[in-house]
A = this chain, B = another copy of it.
Amino acid sequence: MTAPIEFYFEFSSPYGYLAAERIDDVAARHGRDVVWKAFLLGAVFKLEGTQPLTQYPRKGEYSRHDFARSARLNGIEFNMPANFPIAAIATSRAFWWLDATDHRMAKEFARAAYRAFFVEGRDIAKAELCADLAAALGADRQALLSGIETPEIKAKLRNETDDAIHKRGVFGSPFMFVDGEPFWGADRLDMMERWMATGGW
């Protein structure tokens, strides 16, 4: 087994959702695992001089069209949430709280939260909904609600976000690394797959 793909994602990112639906399958075809890393994209906007995609006038309109088009191309259910973007702080903390004891359950939670938001339009920024989604996967609802309020989990999300931005150069979602090689965007999964198949070029 070669090194895992590192997968950075923001819960409020439509392209993050589209990549989340595909990335483990893409990786498996090349004998790789995926390490999922939730981070807060909002932290990068001021540093980078950017803003959420949908807030640009022309790029925003194009993006809304392309989210749905890219979802259809990949057979992924997608409905643009009416309330967008959201500040998915509790969601990201819940991911890391679960991840501390069970990577697999954390991934399942991430996929469930993404679908709750980008298919059903539910407000996954709410801790109560995060707890419900995690409980459905077997997690302890009350333990999660307490856990995401601890200094340790708050620091974990802050540190992961800082590392992503300051150490790895992450500026968007999704953002993947294959043996250190960076790939930005759900529309680069094919290029990333070719990179794994060929060993790079």
Interface residues of A (CB under 8 A from B): 44, 47-51, 56-59, 61-62, 65-66, 69, 72-73, 165, 169-172, 182, 184, 187-188, 190-191, 194, 201
Contacts and interface: CB of A to CB of B under 8 A. Distances in A.
A182 B49 contact: no
B191 A187 contact: yes
A146 to B, nearest CB: 35
Contacts of A194: 73
14 contacts: A48-B57, A48-B58, A50-B56, A58-B165, A59-B171, A62-B182, A62-B184, A65-B182, A66-B184, A72-B201, A73-B194, A187-B187, A187-B191, A190-B190
Nearest to A170: B58
A125 B162 CA distance: 40
Contacts of A59: 48, 50, 171-172
Given A188-B187, A190-B190, A57 B62 contact: no
Given A61-B169, A187-B191, A190-B190, A48 B44 contact: no
A176 to B, nearest CB: 12
A187 B17 CA distance: 20
B169 A58 contact: yes
A166 to B, nearest CB: 9
B51 A49 contact: yes
